[in-house]
Amino acid sequence: MFETLQAQPSDKILALMKAFREDPRPEKIDLGVGVYKNAKGQTPIMRAVKTAEKQLWESQDTKSYVGLVGDPAFADAMISLILGDAVARETVAAAATPGGTGAVRQCLEMAKMANPKLRVFVSDPTWPNHLSIMKFMGIEVVPYRYFDNETRGVDFDGMLADIKQAGKGDIVLLHGCCHNPTGANLNLTEWQIVADTLNATGATPMIDIAYQGFGDGLEEDAAGTRLIASSVPETLIAASCSKNFGVYRERTGLAMAVSQDSSAKALNQDTLAFLNRQNYSFPPDHGARVVTMVLTDPALRADWEAELEDVRRGMLKLREQLAGELQRASGSDRFGFLAQHRGMFSRLGASADLVEKLRAEHGIYMIGDSRMNIAGLNEKTVPILADAIVKSGI
């Protein structure tokens, strides 16, 4: 029967990783893979995570199942981190998932159960796996304008005009902070206008928040999500712990369904539990338990927040350095947007041909749409990248 299977399109990021590994040039720079790296090119285990894991190893006395939606303490800790006191806890149904990707999938599954003819309005561009998952699920995707290639900022007028076409039964997918792949974000005034638009159209927001703490700070990065969740009747949220806790391989995420009508929570919770059972039964627990320990232990949390703040400031410093080096090399301030973007990524707005030129002539690897991982840089490689960008005619 398997002779009927068709070859699937290759993952561009994985292909880029392979090409980078095979490149013999010692001065090559990897800006493609979406993983945080420190100045030494390592993805370290955070101090608080390491301590929590040691404590867990010493105290844990069973590896039995926890529950279909995971440990309630994990949900409570993450809901508090992301939503604060913006909504009442009794309005939020939640289920632990295998990473943020699992949370995205479960939110979309829940939405499709509610509306089999679901349409999802998605920013252009967005994280490629959003599109891949929805295509596989047979969900209609409607792109909305988001990134302005001229200003390298948000095309908010275009975005607003497009999401006004969404209606009741539709989902509008939003990035909570640190937009992937562009790094260009909405401000709070724009978030409020989006909330007002959703209320006017009846469309339901779904927020993917994968980089809280990487942009302007833990509270600041959650502000848009909190505003939406407290302003509209229903909100879906897919959260990831991979980046801000550095637990990539532990696959730790949370799917949330917020309803202003608290009587809806029981049905929403049962639905999330049902979906977990159909997809993988019980979600992984190790990463979730470690995250819970870090968030609920004052000393561990203080250490985690301090290290996360160092990470955030380090990326901002690299952004400012790169913008300054590009101004020096080009004699122009046209790259000033790099210092304004937030998170791990920025999109240069360069053509695929120029991105290929960077790779071929300078050994600089980034995604073909010119998304680059700022965390792949260090103080020594920033000037090299700046000179290469200018010499390549970007």
Both 138 and 115 in one domain: the answer is: yes
Please indicate, yes or no, if residue 60 is contained in any of the structural domains. no
Which of 296, 323, 348 finishes a domain? Answer: 296
Active site residue 77: no
Both 306 and 369 in one domain: the answer is: yes
Both 349 and 383 in one domain: the answer is: yes
12: left (phi over 0), alpha (psi -120 to 50) or beta: alpha
Q: Residue 295 in 3-state DSSP?
A: helix
Both 211 and 346 in one domain: the answer is: no
CA atoms of 23 and 124, how far apart (whole Å): 31
Say how many domains are in the chain: 2
Active site residue 76: no
The CATH number given to whatever domain includes residue 140 is: 3.40.640.10
Both 282 and 317 in one domain: the answer is: no
Q: Residue 197 in 3-state DSSP?
A: helix
CA atoms of 198 and 205, how far apart (whole Å): 7
Both 277 and 309 in one domain: the answer is: no
Select which of 52, 93, 111, 127 is catalytic. 127
CA atoms of 265 and 261, how far apart (whole Å): 8
Q: What is the pLDDT of residues 80-135, one digit of tens each?
A: 999 999 999 999 999 999 999 999 999 999 999 999 999 999 999 999 999 999 99
Active site residue 387: no
Q: What is the pLDDT of residues 296-334, one digit of tens each?
A: 999 999 999 999 999 999 999 999 999 999 999 999 999
The CATH number given to whatever domain includes residue 338 is: 3.90.1150.10
Rg of the chain (C-alpha set): 21
Measured CA to CA in angstroms, residue 330 lies from 325, 346, 393 at distances of 8, 18, 10
Q: By residue range, what is the domain housing residue 18?
A: 12-45+301-389
pLDDT at 8 over 90: no
Both 118 and 257 in one domain: the answer is: yes
If you search the block for the tokens 């928040």, which residue do you land on? 209
Please indicate, yes or no, if residue 4 is contained in any of the structural domains. no
Active site residue 127: yes
Both 383 and 330 in one domain: the answer is: yes
Select which of 162, 170, 208, 285 is catalytic. 208
Concatenated DSSP letters of 75-133: HHHHHHHHHTTSS-GGGEEEEEEEHHHHHHHHHHHHHHHH-TT-EEEEEES--HHHHHH
Asked if residues 181 and 148 have their Cβ atoms less than 8 Å apart, the reply is no
> pLDDT confidence of 139, banded at 50, 70, 90?
very high
Which of 269, 296, 323 finishes a domain? Answer: 296
Please indicate, yes or no, if residue 7 is contained in any of the structural domains. no
Q: Closest Cα partner for 338 from 222, 184, 121?
A: 184
Both 226 and 84 in one domain: the answer is: yes
Please indicate, yes or no, if residue 206 is contained in any of the structural domains. yes
Please indicate, yes or no, if residue 194 is contained in any of the structural domains. yes
Q: What is the pLDDT of residues 261-297, one digit of tens each?
A: 999 999 999 999 999 999 999 999 999 999 999 999 9
pLDDT above 70 coverage of the chain, percent: 100
Select which of 75, 210, 222, 238 is catalytic. 210
Please indicate, yes or no, if residue 24 is contained in any of the structural domains. yes
Both 380 and 253 in one domain: the answer is: no
pTM for the full predicted model: 0.96
Both 202 and 308 in one domain: the answer is: no
Asked if residues 166 and 134 have their Cβ atoms less than 8 Å apart, the reply is no
Asked if residues 312 and 214 have their Cβ atoms less than 8 Å apart, the reply is yes
Both 202 and 344 in one domain: the answer is: no
Which of 275, 296, 317 finishes a domain? Answer: 296
Select which of 162, 195, 238, 243 is catalytic. 243
CA atoms of 140 and 185, how far apart (whole Å): 25
Please indicate, yes or no, if residue 161 is contained in any of the structural domains. yes
pLDDT at 187 over 90: yes
Please indicate, yes or no, if residue 59 is contained in any of the structural domains. no
